Amino acid sequence: MLGTILVGHDGRRGLIHHLAVASESQRKGIGTSLVHEGLRRLRAVGIQKCHLLVYADNVCGRAFLERVGAEHRDALAIYSLLVK
C-alpha cells in the first residue's frame, strides 16, 4: 500500500476521516493526489466544504494540510463519546 484516504459527507459537509501514506512513499505527491481526488469527488456530489481531522501534536500532518491549502480553525472543537 502506498496510501489511502477515507472521505465521506453528510449531504452538507465533507470530512476527511483518515489519510495515510507509507513513510517510504511520503513527499512524492501521493497524499496531495489523494486529497485532490477526494475533494473532486465531493464536488461531484455538490459538497463545497470539507473538514479534516488531525491530532494537534502531529506536526508532519499539520504541515502537510497547510501545504495543500487547509485552514486551521480555532473556532472548532472536537468531542468524542465512547460507544458502550
With bands split at pLDDT 50, 70 and 90, how would you rate the model's confidence at 78? confident
Q: Against a cut of 0.85, is the pTM above it?
A: yes
Q: Are 50 and 13 in contact (CB under 8 A)?
A: yes
In a domain, residue 77? The reply is no
In a domain, residue 20? The reply is yes
How many structural domains are present in the chain? 1
The SS3 assignment for 3 reads: strand
With bands split at pLDDT 50, 70 and 90, how would you rate the model's confidence at 1? confident
In a domain, residue 82? The reply is no
Count other C-beta atoms under 10 Å from residue 2's C-beta: 14
Cell 473556532 belongs to which residue? 75
Q: What is the CATH number of the domain that holds 55?
A: 3.40.630.30
Count other C-beta atoms under 10 Å from residue 38's C-beta: 20
HSE-CB for 45 with a 13 A CA cutoff? 14
The boundaries of the domain holding residue 31 are 3-67
In a domain, residue 44? The reply is yes
Express each pLDDT in 18-72 by its tens digit: 999 999 999 999 999 999 999 999 999 999 999 998 999 999 999 999 999 999 9
